[in-house]
Amino acid sequence: MKGGMAAPRTIALDAMGGDRGPAVVLAGADLALRRHADVSFLLFGDQSRVSVHLAAHPLLAERARAVHADTVVEMQDKPSQAVRRGRKSSMWLAIEAVQKGEADFVVSAGNTGALMAMAKLILTTMPGIERPAIAAQWPTLAGPCIVLDLGANIGATARQLADFALMGAAMARAVFHIERPRVGLLNIGVEEIKGIEEVRQAHAWLKDNGELAIDYRGFVEGDQIGQGVADVLVVEGFAGNIALKTAEGTAKQMAAWMREAMTSSPWSRLGALFAQRGLRTLKARMDTRQFNGGPFLGLNGIAIKSHGGTDAVGFAHAIEVGYQMAESNVLGRLAADLEALHGKLTEPEAAGRSS
């Protein structure tokens, strides 16, 4: 990572990623530019297609450079295929710009598995980190929290879970500006006797480690996430992915029932008219675009995954997440935290079980 606190940021974008490619990516970049007028963009993709959309955004055109990429990673490509054959792809070149120090971070709305595999290969993992994780913001009654891992990997050792806790805390510091984020471990019971051995071991390490810059809150159950009991929630990728998607599905289901309740009769529709202000607030709260942008944590560089189906507003938010992380020097501080944790892992391990 290059650039001090005050330096203008350069942002690498995979212009071909996502369901609508350059149309959404460039419109998103244009929105981001209205917020941060001094950033500049490197737009990796099919030059002819990128140029067409760039012409529609004169402000962006002044602050962006299009870099041609011969190929595109498709959504159905396997990560291993993409890594072998995709070295001239827009995704690869955009990540490589971060590795070369030409950009401060990269955003792609493309194939998640391919993006992770490439980012891991090009940026490499931080010292002591075995596995990167995908994090995301999750709306709660008390504002957004961060949940990780969301499926970068299946299963996690106790050490990986503890690493995830620090990686998530680093992101919370960057995007929520909280010095000592509240961190919880997702588990299937609040009693210490319950849950997976790995989760219990990670719990033992985290709770006995006052040197870490986190406010460790212990086990959290699935039904507490929405209450906002923590700023960061840690879980292995299989259960994390299922939990996030289940929450999304439940929110959609509830929204469908709510819509039906407010349109099922002329009286209901009249009621919706009177309540329109409250209903608008509700709709705004459920707008998933404001939570778009999941960083890959644990790499020597900042890579952000945008939802493939988002629009310009959502893509701009993914850029904002990267921007905040770059501004906060997240990687430097995380490295120090990880060193503090790893240096102590042996000692509390033996004592952990009896607690």
CA-CA distance, 262 to 122, in Å (whole number)?
Answer: 51
Q: How far is the CB of 178 from its own copies (least distance, A)?
A: 21
Q: Does 355 bind its own copies (CB under 8 A)?
A: no
CA-CA distance, 89 to 49, in Å (whole number)?
Answer: 14
CA-CA distance, 13 to 107, in Å (whole number)?
Answer: 5
CA-CA distance, 297 to 303, in Å (whole number)?
Answer: 8
**Count of residues engaged in binding its own copies, rule: CB under 8 A:** 67
- Strand pairing partners for 181? none
Among residues 251, 227, 232, 255, which one has the least CA distance to residue 141? 227
311 and 287 Cβ atoms separated by less than 8 Å: no
Q: Which of 89, 108, 160, 241 binds its own copies (CB under 8 A)?
A: 241
Q: How far is the CB of 231 from its own copies (least distance, A)?
A: 16
Q: Which of 74, 221, 327, 349 binds its own copies (CB under 8 A)?
A: 221
Part in contact with its own copies (CB under 8 A); list of ranges 6-14, 36-44, 231-239, 292-300: 231-239
Looking at the Cβ atoms of 246 and 355, the one nearer to its own copies is 246
Q: Does 263 bind its own copies (CB under 8 A)?
A: yes
In angstroms, what CA-CA distances link 295 with 65, 76, 167?
A: 24, 21, 10
Q: Does 244 bind its own copies (CB under 8 A)?
A: yes
CA-CA distance, 31 to 319, in Å (whole number)?
Answer: 10
Part in contact with its own copies (CB under 8 A); list of ranges 8-16, 25-33, 271-279, 321-329: 271-279
46 alpha-carbon distance from chain centroid: 26
Residue 19 has φ and ψ, to the nearest 5°, of -65, -30
Q: Does 262 bind its own copies (CB under 8 A)?
A: yes
Q: Which of 273, 347, 351, 353 binds its own copies (CB under 8 A)?
A: 273
Looking at the Cβ atoms of 94 and 243, the one nearer to its own copies is 243
Q: Does 251 bind its own copies (CB under 8 A)?
A: yes
The dihedral sign for the CA sequence 233, 124, 13, 29: positive
Tokens representing 335?
């490295």
Q: Does 110 bind its own copies (CB under 8 A)?
A: no
Interacting positions 181-200 with its own copies (CB under 8 A): 186, 188, 191, 193-196
Q: Which SS3 state, helix, strand or coil, does residue 72 take?
A: coil
Binding residues vs its own copies (CB under 8 A): 76, 78, 113, 139-141, 151, 154-155, 186, 188, 191, 193-196, 221-227, 235, 237-239, 241-258, 260-265, 267-268, 270-279, 281-282, 285-286
